[in-house]
């Protein structure tokens, strides 16, 4: 049900976001369980996760280091916006229990703060390391609140799960919202786009349109 353009617009990021959402559902997190927090909300995984979770009826808190993105994030489905620095100030072994589920692309201190802020039997899906590979946390959330940390791997994921994820993406994605976070560039623009990505300037999804060969018939 997806066009080639839509599939490429979603890409690995959208597919990974769907794997995270499926894991939350598999672990028993429902809209009635409580709010979900999504880190890196203006990035590829985060923006698609916002769309998917809101479509499924979840209340979603979007974490971002770019407050100017709030209007876009709310349009994608965020019901609340949390500045990244607020999250990074959470350094206690256990923080106020706020969320029933999480989609984390950051790792590092961000993931540690998320785990410390989960509700009893909350579920955290971890799929990235944008904030670092280390995990400066304690066992407190896991042994005192029964928090579950689920690792999400999109590379070696079995084919059956891949097909199921893409099928669900086709059913849930709003084409208009997807188009709203999509920027098209051409192949010569890739070098600058890569530099912007490393500098944290990229929002949503970038689609590279390949020019046809000059002598194509």
pLDDT tens, residue by residue, 75-91: 999 999 999 999 999 99
Beta-carbon contacts of residue 141 (< 8 Å; ≥ 6 apart)? 93, 94, 115, 116, 118, 147
DSSP annotation of 211: P
DSSP annotation of 28: T
Alpha-carbon distance of 52 to 57, in angstroms, equals 9
Sign of torsion over alpha carbons 162, 61, 128, 8: positive
> Nearest Cα to 33, choosing from 105, 114, 113, 118?
118
Question: Residue 213 has what pLDDT?
Answer: 52
Instruction: Return the percentage of the chain with pLDDT > 70, whole number.
Output: 97
Question: Residue 97 has what pLDDT?
Answer: 98
Question: Residue 216 has what pLDDT?
Answer: 45
Question: Residue 217 has what pLDDT?
Answer: 41
Which pTM does this prediction carry? 0.93
123, pLDDT greater than 60: yes
Tens of pLDDT, residue by residue over 126-144, are 999 988 999 999 999 999 9
Question: Residue 163 has what pLDDT?
Answer: 96
Tens of pLDDT, residue by residue over 25-46, are 999 999 999 999 999 999 999 9
Question: Residue 211 has what pLDDT?
Answer: 72
67, pLDDT greater than 60: yes
Alpha-carbon distance of 38 to 90, in angstroms, equals 16
Question: Residue 139 has what pLDDT?
Answer: 97
State the architecture of 4-151 in CATH terms.
Answer: 3-Layer(aba) Sandwich (3.40)
Tens of pLDDT, residue by residue over 177-217, are 999 999 999 999 999 999 998 887 888 899 999 876 554 44
Instruction: Return the percentage of the chain with pLDDT > 90, whole number.
Output: 87
Question: Residue 198 has what pLDDT?
Answer: 85
Alpha-carbon distance of 100 to 39, in angstroms, equals 14
* pLDDT mean across residues, the chain: 94
Question: Residue 82 has what pLDDT?
Answer: 96
Question: Residue 94 has what pLDDT?
Answer: 97
Side-chain half-sphere CA neighbours of 105 within 13 A: 25
Q: What three-state secondary structure class fits 143?
A: helix
Ramachandran angles phi, psi of 62, nearest 5°: -100, 125
């Amino acid at each position: 049900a997806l066009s080639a353009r839509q599939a490429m617009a979603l890409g690995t990021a959208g597919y990974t976001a769907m794997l995270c959402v499926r894991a939350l559902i598999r672990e028993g997190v429902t809209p009635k369980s409580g709010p979900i927090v999504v880190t890196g909300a203006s990035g590829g995984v985060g923006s698609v996760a916002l769309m998917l979770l809101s479509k499924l009826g979840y209340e979603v808190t979007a974490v971002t280091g770019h407050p100017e993105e709030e209007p876009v994030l709310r349009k994608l489905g965020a019901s609340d916006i949390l500045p990244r620095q607020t999250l990074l100030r959470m350094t206690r072994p256990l923080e106020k229990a706020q969320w029933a589920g999480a989609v984390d692309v950051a790792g590092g201190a961000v993931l540690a703060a998320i785990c410390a802020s989960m509700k009893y039997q909350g579920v955290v899906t971890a799929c990235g390391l944008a904030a670092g590979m280390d995990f400066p946390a304690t066992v407190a959330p896991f042994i005192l609140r029964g928090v579950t940390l689920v690792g999400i791997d999109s590379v070696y994921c079995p084919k059956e799960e891949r097909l199921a994820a893409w099928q669900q993406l086709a059913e849930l994605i709003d084409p208009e919202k997807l188009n709203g976070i999509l920027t098209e560039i051409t192949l010569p623009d890739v070098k600058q786009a890569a530099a912007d990505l490393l500098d944290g300037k990229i929002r949503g999804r970038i689609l590279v349109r390949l020019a046809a060969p000059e002598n194509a018939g």
